[in-house]
Structure 1
Amino acid sequence: MIREKLKTAQDRQKSYADNISKDLEFSVGDWVFLKLSSWKGVMRFGKRGKLSPRYIGPYEITERIGPIAYRLALSTELSRIHDVFHVSMLRKYMPDPSHVLEHQPVELREDLTYEEQPV
């Protein structure tokens, strides 16, 4: 009797989880963001706590290793990190031209000041 109730509860919870979860799959050449693990008190990229970035990148997938692991082409400053990541650590990068900011040179005066102008 108790086993039947436990089995029913487990099946119900599994059906809830199956509705929410989605199978992620990437191919070689896709660009993805890499999720940073949230270690408390660790300072990353000059920010601490809530202001630290959740994802970094984008990085290109160079190889698929099994159904749930991918090798990324990491930048040189991340060369000490192992370059194979679980699919749960990745988020697909959707290129958007509005994300690209135009570089405008700053004109410095002789006293090393400049004038800001709104965009």
Structure 2
Amino acid sequence: MRFGKKGKLSAWYVGPFNILRRDGKVAYELELPNELASVHPIFHVSMLQKCVGDPTSIVPLEGVGFDENLSYEEVPVEILDRQVKKLRS
């Protein structure tokens, strides 16, 4: 299930989730966990991606830390470099 990419190294997709049924030609109802109870369970096919079966590519839902609006706040860990621009005066 796709939520969008907020940062460069952020996860694009969360899951995998089981498909309960097909709703129309281009939508699917997913079996979502209780943490995502506020999310509507029907998604367009463009928001879904086939699970490749590689356990290292699966992002655990516990580590993502969504709030009730399915958003999160990025907190910088460390400033690696600083640059000062000198403008003409």
Same fold? TM cut 0.5: yes
Query: Is residue 17 of structure 2 the alignment partner of residue 35 of structure 1?
Result: no
Cross-structure match for 1:63: 21
Query: Is residue 10 of structure 2 the alignment partner of residue 52 of structure 1?
Result: yes
- Greater radius of gyration (CA): 1
Q: Aligned-pair distance for 1:94?
A: 2.4
Q: Which blocks of at least 5 consecutive residues in structure 1 are unaligned?
A: 1-33, 39-47, 101-119
| TM-score, structure 1 normalization | 0.43
SS in 1 for 2:46: helix
Write the distance in 2 (CA, Å) between the matches of 1:93 and 1:62.
Answer: 15
| TM-score, structure 2 normalization | 0.57
Write the distance in 2 (CA, Å) between the matches of 1:76 and 1:50.
Answer: 28
The one-letter code of the counterpart of 1:55 is: Y
Matches within 5 A, 1:1-119: 34-38=1-5, 49-96=7-54, 99=55
Residues paired across the two proteins, number = 56
Give the fraction of aligned pairs with identical amino acids, expressed as a percent: 45
More strand as a share of residues = 1
Write the distance in 2 (CA, Å) between the matches of 1:60 and 1:86.
Answer: 15
SS in 2 for 1:71: strand
Q: Which blocks of at least 5 consecutive residues in structure 2 are unaligned?
A: 57-89
The one-letter code of the counterpart of 2:10 is: S
Write the distance in 2 (CA, Å) between the matches of 1:69 and 1:85.
Answer: 5
More helix as a share of residues = 1
Tell me which stretches of 4 or more aligned residues in structure 1 moved more than 6 Å: none
Q: Aligned-pair distance for 1:95?
A: 1.9
